[in-house]
Structure 1
Amino acid sequence: MRYVKLPKENTYEFLERLKNFGKLYAPVKISEKFYDFREIDDVRKVEFNYVRTIMPPKKFFFAPREKMFEFSISKGEYREVIPEVEPFVLFGVHSCDIYGLKILDSVYLDEYPDKYYKVRREKSIIIGISCMPDEYCFCNLLRTDFEHDGFDLFLHELPDGWLVRIGTPTGHRIVDKNIKLFTEVTQEDICNFREFERKRAQAFKYHEEWDNIHYLLELEMEHPLWEKEAEKCLACGICSTVCPTCRCYEVQDVVNLDGDTGYRERRWDSCKFRSHGLVAGGHNFRPTKKDRFINRYLCKMSFHWKLGINFCVGCGRCTAFCPAGIDFVKNIRTIVGLEELSCPPKLSEEIPKKGFAYAKNIRGEDI
């Protein structure tokens, strides 16, 4: 792998020149606490020291809602609607989110390539950036805290700039066309890089072994925590929306007023929705919130054999943005015996349903 250094004084010039390779998107501060990837006009608005964006990079490749094809019933024909995508640069992607994109790639590109996803992925340039974890981060437990590939360039923070790893031929072209902005990496830079990685490793809240998590979850299907936490869950689907690796969608045919023409669209779905497990005949594979709650944990902790990681990348979004205050990591640690369960052994079945038990999710479905 090739390494170069980007001095701090050249950072904004580098960002400005990235626009020559496509539309530039990067993390910006959108409120007092929150960040998100947005199109960049003024490069000085780019945030380098953010922890997480509200939405993961998947929104650029797997659209929340998109038209798939148009049809005519009388003519018995349809026309695919493949999006026209301009080249774009996604700057400031953290390691866990790059792993998230690799998981999506394995779903949407490997065996049966998804045309809509593929055309966006082929037009993208990914530039990663290092970060310091907060109390919600646990990517170190899932071995997604340091990315080895899946990026064109990756910037690691130094006291006076950035150590840049070049990961692809596209990355080489970007550096070579702007070579005057870069310098050689010195021994001092290497020492600073090593020190940053040491501090970063120590900054994580938890340091333990999680290789057997999925199996322990399967063995504890009757753990009292499932019922306790499922009762708190609003079934709103936010955890799936902000997850870098959730990729479920549903399709719907929309018929125009003429009753003849229309289109098919797909939109993000969530295993937290009651309709997700509903099939023809009215049977539901996961009829209760508890069933759906357990399913999400088993899904995220499933092992991706090809990549050698779990389907959860440890970004912490599901906990940070949960309106019910459900702590994903704490629940896992409780179920596998790393934390005490702070509730009665079993919730009473006599407790009447009230409050949010009669709420509806973002689609208006009963939960």
Structure 2
Amino acid sequence: MRYVKLPKENTYTFLERLKEWGKLYAPVKISEKFYDFREIDDVRKVEFNYNRTIMPPKKFFFLPREKLFEFDLSRPEYRETIEDVEPFVIFGLHACDIHGLKILDTVYLDELPDKYYKARREKGIIIGISCMPDEYCFCNLRETDFADDGFDLFLHELPDGWLVRVGSPTGHRIVDKNMELFEEVTTEDICNFREFENKRSQAFKYHEDWSNLRYLLELEMEHPMWEEQADLCLACGICNTTCPTCRCYEVQDIVNLDGNTGYRERRWDSCQFRSHGLVAGGHNFRPTKKDRFRNRYLCKNSYNEKLGLSYCVGCGRCTYFCPAGISFVRNLRTILGLEEKSCPSEITEEIPKRGFAYASHIRGDGL
């Protein structure tokens, strides 16, 4: 792998040069606490020290709402509406989000590639950036805290700039075209890189073994935690929409007022919605909120054989943005027996809530 150094004083010039490669998106602060990937006009608004964005970068490749084709019932034909995707650059992805895209690739670029996803993936340039974890991060337990590939460039923070790893032919071309902005990596830079990575590793809140988690989840299908936590859940689907690897969608035909023409669109779906498991004849594979709540934990902790990873990358979004204050990590640690009260006879403590105070009063099978 090729390594170069980007001095701090050249950072904004580098960001401005990236616009030559396509429309630039990067994390910006959108409120007192929240960040999101937005199109960048002023590069000085880019946030380098953030923990997580509200929406994961999957939104650029797997659109929240997307028209697939138009149809006319008077003729046995349809017209695909794949847009002509222009090149674009996403700057500032953390390692966990890069792994999230790699997981989506195994779903949408397998033996039957999704042409809509593929068209955007081929035009997107990925530039990662290092980060310091907060109390919600657990990507170290998921082995997604460092990215070996899946990016064009990856920037690691140094006291006076960035150590840059080049990860693709496109990354090489970007560096080669802007060589005046870069320097050779020195011994001091290597020492600073090592020091930062060691400090970052120690900053994670949890350091434990989760290798048997998926088996314990299967063995604890009737654990009382499921009922207690499902009662708190609002079934709003925020955990799915903010997840970097959730990939479920629904398809709907929208008919125009003439009753003859229309279009088909797909849009993100959530396994927390009652309609998600509903099939013809009125049967529902997951009729209760408890069933749906538990299913998400089983899905996120199942094993992606192609990558050797779980479908959860440890970004912490589902906990941080949950309006009912449900802690994904705490619930998993309960199943692992790592929380103080993990056995059925011991679980009496109410889970603290952040957000909607009435969440604990929600009952029944959800929304």
TM-score range, shorter chain: over 0.9
Counterpart of 2:15 in structure 1 is 15
Report what 2:136 is aligned to.
136
After TM superposition, the structure 1 = structure 2 runs for residues 125-274 of structure 1, keeping only pairs within 5 Å, are 125-274=125-274
Q: Is the 8 A contact 1:233 1:324 kept in 2?
A: yes
Matched position secondary structure for 1:128: strand
**Match of 1:87?**
87
Measure, in 2, the Cα distance between the counterparts of 1:120 and 1:221.
39
Are 1:356 and 2:362 matched, yes or no? yes
Q: Separation in 2 of the partners of 1:143 and 1:66?
A: 32
Matched, 1:51 2:51: yes
* Shift in Å, 1:354: 9.2
Could you say which residue in structure 1 is the equivalent of 2:34? 34
Letter in 1 for 2:123: K
Shift of the alpha carbon at 1:342? Answer: 7.8
Cα distance in 2 for partners of 1:34, 1:91 equals 17
The CA distance in 2 between the partners of 1:356 and 1:334, in whole Å, is 22
Distance of 1:257 and 1:110 partners within structure 2: 38
- Greater Cα shift, 216-225 or 317-326: 216-225
Q: Distance in 1 between the 2:287 and 2:360 partners?
A: 19
CA distance in 1, matches of 2:168, 2:222: 47
Deviations 1:220-261 (A, max 9, x none): 111110110010000000000000000000000111111111
**C-alpha separation in 2, matches of 1:355 and 1:66:** 36
Instruction: Return the alpha-carbon distance in structure 2 between the equivalents of residues 263 and 162 of structure 1.
Output: 47
1:150-185 deviations in Å (ceiling 9; x for gaps): 000000000000000000000000000000000000
Q: Gaps (5+ residues) in structure 1?
A: 348-352, 360-365
Deviation track 1:97-137 (CA, whole Å, cap 9, x = no partner) reads 00000011110011211111111111100000000000000
1:72 is aligned with what amino acid?
D
Amino acid in the other structure paired with 1:197: E
> For 2:218 and 2:344, how far apart are their aligned partners in 1?
22
Residues 225 and 341, structure 1, Cα contact 8 Å, conserved in 2 = no
Matched, 1:338 2:344: no
Give the C-alpha shift of residue 340 in structure 1.
2.6
The separation in 1 between residues aligned to 2:133 and 2:241, in whole angstroms, is 21
1:264-292 deviation per Cα after TM superposition (whole angstroms, max 9, x unaligned) = 00000011010111111111000001000
Amino acid at match of 2:2: R
Give the structure 2 partner of residue 322 of structure 1: 322
Counterpart Cα distance in 2 of 1:242 and 1:209? 25
Shift of 1:355: 4.4
Q: SS of 1:225's equivalent?
A: helix
In structure 1, C-alpha distance between the alignment counterparts of 2:258 and 2:214, rounded to whole Å: 51
In 2, Cα distance between equivalents of 1:26 and 1:344: 45
Give me the TM-score of the superposition, normalised by structure 1.
Answer: 0.95
CA distance in 2: counterparts of 1:305 and 1:339, whole angstroms: 29
Distance 1:72 1:63 in 2: 24
1:77, distance to aligned residue in structure 2 (A):
1.3
Q: Which amino acid aligns with 1:283?
A: H
What is the count of residue pairs matched by the alignment? 356
How many angstroms does 1:357 deviate by?
3.2
Contact 2:58 2:101 in 1 (8 A): yes
Please say if 1:76 is aligned against 2:76.
yes
The alignment's TM-score, normalised by the length of structure 2, stands at: 0.95
Question: What is the CA RMSD across the aligned residues, in angstroms?
Answer: 1.6
- Asked if the contact 1:4–1:182 (Cα under 8 Å) also holds between the matched residues in 2, the reply is yes
> Per the alignment, in what secondary structure is the counterpart of residue 281 of structure 1?
helix
SS in 1 for 2:222: coil
Q: Do the aligned partners of 2:166 and 2:172 also contact (CA within 8 Å) in 1?
A: yes
Q: Tell me, yes or no, if the aligned pair for 1:249 and 1:266 is still in contact at 8 Å.
A: yes
- One-letter amino acid of the counterpart of residue 327, structure 1: S
Unaligned runs of 5+ in 2: 349-358
Q: Which residue of 1 aligns with 2:354?
A: none
Judged with a 3 Å threshold, the aligned counterparts in structure 2 of structure 1 residues 334 and 355 are, in CA distance, closer, same or farther, namely closer
Inter-partner Cα distance in structure 2 for 1:206 and 1:75: 60
